Structure 1
């Protein structure tokens, strides 16, 4: 699936926006400040301040349905806050004699340039959607009433927002509605987002639709026409003047969190590759080759973000066999070599996956990816299993440090794993990642019962 066509994230657009804005901030500083100021100090200070302010003001929370007036408001808020920061910097470094008129000229220049690029990207994306039909999302609506018709009109009359509305399902006789047939139609039409009118659905139907969306990687949103829905923890959005509610808020959909996690992944995996794998790989390779013939690395197709398949790398711990892509290792598995037992027990066999992290297929922390055959099997029998694919898979995860690593011996194991994975997805933070990494390292040193 192309990053710029559909999908939950806006590809690399937001990270690029960060880089453009930081370049403008520090670029204009060359003309205004760098004669008197150490550029390194200024760049570090303003970059950290800008990113911090952006999180607070939600400066980069601009979506396809965001109105221009909202963007103007975000720019004005960010400009006022950033102006205060620059004045604070000038006051702290008062010996540099940075005059207020210089600061105001700098701020005006910076924000005119930032506003220009922000609106240029905004309108170019709209033009791209209208002229080329790209960056779109296919939608359906459950319920036919005044509010859903207003939403349908918004979709059909505003192609620049990138929505292709496929169908509105009339649910007047809601007790006799066959949801299974509607679900099949949604899968056949490759729908991306489902919108529901709460007042026209029973509680059981809402639950069934929610389960279907989770298990098939569909975005589910609601039109708040029932007061009961306000009691739940939901995320508000506005499409023009139409209020929309999202049932699941995923922190890693936030652009700043995406950049923060990806930056951490690159730095952490680079350290492991340079300082550990650079010397450990030749040693492991020799020991593997001495015991059995075959490749040093084992490559296996697994499902990652948005269900996309990728090649997951490990040090080979088994004798080459045709069943390696079908069956997990079990306790006392005869396929595992003596060297394989050691590297599996210490989790050394997983270290090559730091290359997967650098390639962008995986993250250091996240739901563990499964073999394709297992993913297909569990997706059919385990409720909400597919929710795990809303984020990148990880080398380690919350489920793994909570007793659900290794072989899946019963449905209880996979259900527990999914429960912890969903909790991680909905409650992600960098501190949680650091806690998981620390616990993983401690478990590797102590050894785990299911590490075989």
Structure 2
């Protein structure tokens, strides 16, 4: 029996709440500056300003996808959309105040903008996490199933199982290898299946069976989602376009293929790195250097060759966190690695060992945000094993990145599975880069540095 889904009502409720907050902020400032808000002289102009800005907010959401929030979206991506939307909206508020004759907007537009930013960011973030928490309690879930049992399916199933806040309840379908249409339809009805996942890597069904499954799913209102093969497919490098009504796959053009975005990102990297080096590293580096020296013999810095932009090899600089050993270029770290010094454990936990890489950023070898550079032997191994691994080299490697702020760090556990997830995260970053996404990743990294990263080793 199909469960009632309440998510469809959330969008309308969230829009109405945002409209109320925006209107309330403007009314508050109107009243503070003019007790005659609804006087004949002011009412028409002020009310028209509110209506125009609310209309602008709602219209802008169709571009920023602010209300198209999938249940499996991460806070990193949601925050990037939210910050982008609010900044563009605030720019509209400031612009309207500059070109209009509304005295209030001309006087207090910056204070209004700041109030809107803080209020909307707090309210929408609170609602986001509240909804996530509700789903961890087993409410507002969506029934799903997998009709394939290959490696790509296992990666997705593992993610959805771990992330209770996504609100997916997985129903295991018995005998995936032996397809029976009547039993499949009965399984859908019995468990109220909303979405069925099938991997393109799974080859156990004939074309006729595959066509029959799609026909039955359409008839019984079961959505089918295809899982591309992480190992084989080149889906990252193609976008769907149309020539009249004929769909075609064309080579993707990533955001950082455009000169304006390249200049914007590089300018931000230079300014941010310069400020960090001057304001923080000038006093932090001597302290860390002293602690490293007190902890044992050896150099303060550790330099290792890594692959960078377009696979060019560069010298990646870090604070030394290990005792001097001959395996640093051949062996990755492991849990409770005896090579790591006491101060090294702290530096790794807080990611302070990466701070010298701001020098790499100034030299143009790295970026503040991007895919983390791996050891050469790790890159050489996984380039042959994981499809689309080389997409990471299309941008400069970063001090922090999408994978790191989403817990995909460290070399413990199922390393192959974790590496495949990292590549998916890095590929997402390359395809969806924006400056606001970089800012969100930086803020999340700061919180990880302060609280310590449990995945660091």
Superposition TM-score tier, normalisation by shorter sequence:
0.3 to 0.5
TM-score under structure 1 normalisation? 0.48
